[in-house]
Structure 1
Amino acid sequence: MTATGHAIIGTVIAAKIGDPLIAVPLALASHFLADALPHWDTGYHREQKSKKKFFIQSFADVAVGFAASYALIIAFFPGTNLVYAFLMILAAQAPDWLTAPYLFFNMKFAPFTWFYKMQKVFDTHLGMPWGFINQVAIVSSVVIFGRVF
């Protein structure tokens, strides 16, 4: 799933669950659950991209994720503490952040190889456009669920 998708899920968790002892493990678990569902992300076919292009796309994805999360808080969850939401976003994205040294800086040694291999077990890619459409449907469902309940 894109960093944007994980950020939005983390935002909904922050908006609905005020106890970090529950929210942090849930945000971490949400990462693996979301990645297990067929989706597209910037890492799809990364072997066919230059490292620079992959990095720029991933950086843009992270930036869009934080902007979308902020907009979501303003529009739908205005009582949410922004610092707490930021921490839940980081928790929801944490497995991807832990694989970044492996992917971007060629750090192919422990612990980065462990994180990368663990991620690959859960990651279910689906090409465009269906992988993106599926992701939008999943993330939209989470937002609607968070808004209704």
Structure 2
Amino acid sequence: MVLTMLLTPHVFIGLVIAKFFPNPLLAVPLAFVSHFLGDLTPHWDFFSGTKKEERLKGWRPLAVMADFGLGIGIGVLFTAKYLWLDNKVELAIASFLCGIAAVLPDALEAPYMCLDKFPTFIRTITEVQGKLQTQAPIVIGITIQLAVIILSLTYLL
């Protein structure tokens, strides 16, 4: 069973990496790797306790799309801030790319969720993520993810 941390905390972690390492050549690979490290953190997600067949039914797809949309919005907001308000083009580029890189492993899993056939590299990513997941009960898992977001915002603002 493959589970994932919510996407929004991954985006925040990617943005923190971009601010700490504004060079995209360094920051983007670190943001990609951070995804797997983030999944080691005890967390809860929309697929906790579900089977693959249950993941495309009911409220879960809408919740995932809302989380994805929120993550995109946050990434675009910080990118725009760095570009237009702070006039830091390199940081804006790094933030945009790191936000994407930080959620890319989950985005690559979408075919696994919807299709029976998918490329081998996606199967590999899915298997690695499955082994790294650390699930927690909903209250603890959401609390930890909120703490990640709050700590990230503290650094970013």
Q: TM-score when scaled to structure 1? A: 0.81
Name the Cα RMSD after superposition: 2.6
Q: CA deviation at 1:107?
A: 2.8
Which region of structure 1 is more displaced relative to structure 2, 48-57 or 109-118?
48-57
Tell me the percent identity: 29
Unpaired segments ≥5 residues, structure 2:
none
State the SS of the aligned residue for 1:126: coil
1:19-58 matched pairs, under 5 angstroms: 19-47=23-51, 49-52=54-57, 53-58=59-64
Write out per-residue CA displacement over residues 20-79 of structure 1, whole angstroms, 9 at most, x where no aligned residue. 121012101211111101011222123283514432221111001122334456679953
The count of residues paired between Structure 1 and Structure 2 equals 147
- Taking the aligned partners of 1:45 and 1:142, their CA distance within structure 2 comes to 28
Q: 1:96 aligns with which of 106, 112, 122?
A: 106
Q: TM-score when scaled to structure 2? A: 0.78
Structure 2 equivalent of residue 110 of structure 1: 120
Q: CA deviation at 1:102?
A: 0.7
State the SS of the aligned residue for 2:73: helix
- Taking the aligned partners of 2:134 and 2:101, their CA distance within structure 1 comes to 20
Unpaired segments ≥5 residues, structure 1:
none
Any conservation in 2 of the 1:46–1:54 contact (CA below 8 Å)?
no
Distance 1:72 1:86, change over 3 A: closer
Q: Runs in 1 of length 4+ with deviation above 6 angstroms?
A: 74-77
1:8-27 matched pairs, under 5 angstroms: 8-27=12-31
State the SS of the aligned residue for 2:38: helix
Distance 1:145 1:50, change over 3 A: closer
Any conservation in 2 of the 1:38–1:125 contact (CA below 8 Å)?
yes
- Taking the aligned partners of 2:81 and 2:143, their CA distance within structure 1 comes to 23
